[in-house]
Structure 1
Amino acid sequence: MDKIKALGIIDMEFSNLFGKTASELRTLIDERGIKCSSFGVSYSDLVDKTTEVAQKAKTLGADYVRVASIPYKDVFTVEDAQRTVDDFNRVGKILKEEYGLTFAYHNHGFEFQPYQDGTLYDFIVKNTNPKYVSFELDILWAFFPGQDPVQLLNKYGKRYKLMHLKDLRKGVQGNMSGGTSPENDVVFGTGQIDIPSILKAAKKAGVKHYYIEDESSNVDVQVPASMLYLQNLKKSGTQKPNVLTKNEKQSGWKLLFDGKTLNGWKKLSDSGWDIEDGELKAQVFTTGGTKDIITNDQFENFELSLEFKIFKATNSGFKYLVTNNYPGYENSYLGLEYQILDNVNFKYPERGVYRSLASLYDLIPSSSKDIVGFDNWNVAKIIVQGNHIEHWLNGEKVVEYDRSTNHFDSLVAGSKYKNMKNFGKGTKGHILLQNEGTPVTFRSIKIRPL
Structure 2
Amino acid sequence: MKLRTMLAGTVFVVLSATSCAPGAGSDAPAESAGPVKTGVPKDNVSLTLVSTPESGAAVKTIIEAFEAKHPNVQIAYQDTNYDDYNKSLNLSLSSDQSPDIALLNSVGTTVKDKLVRDLSPYAKAYGWDTTYASTQLNQWRVAADGSTLGEGQLYAAPAGFSLVGVYYNKAKAAELGISKPPTTIEEFEAALAKAKKAGETPLQLGNAEGHASFPIQLAGQSADGAEAAAKWTFGQKGATFDTAGNRAAVTKVGEWAKKGYLPKSANGTDLQSATDKFSKGEGLFFVDGNWDAAKIGAKLGKDAGFFTFPGEHATAIGTSVAYAVSSRSEHPDAAAAFLDFLHSPEASAAQFKAGFMPADIKAAKPEKGTVMTDIVAAWAKVNAENGLVGFNNNATATMNDKLTAGTQELLAGKTDTAGFIKAIQDEWAATHG
> Normalised by the size of structure 1, how large is the TM-score?
0.27
More strand by share: 1
More helix by share: 2
> Normalised by the size of structure 2, how large is the TM-score?
0.28
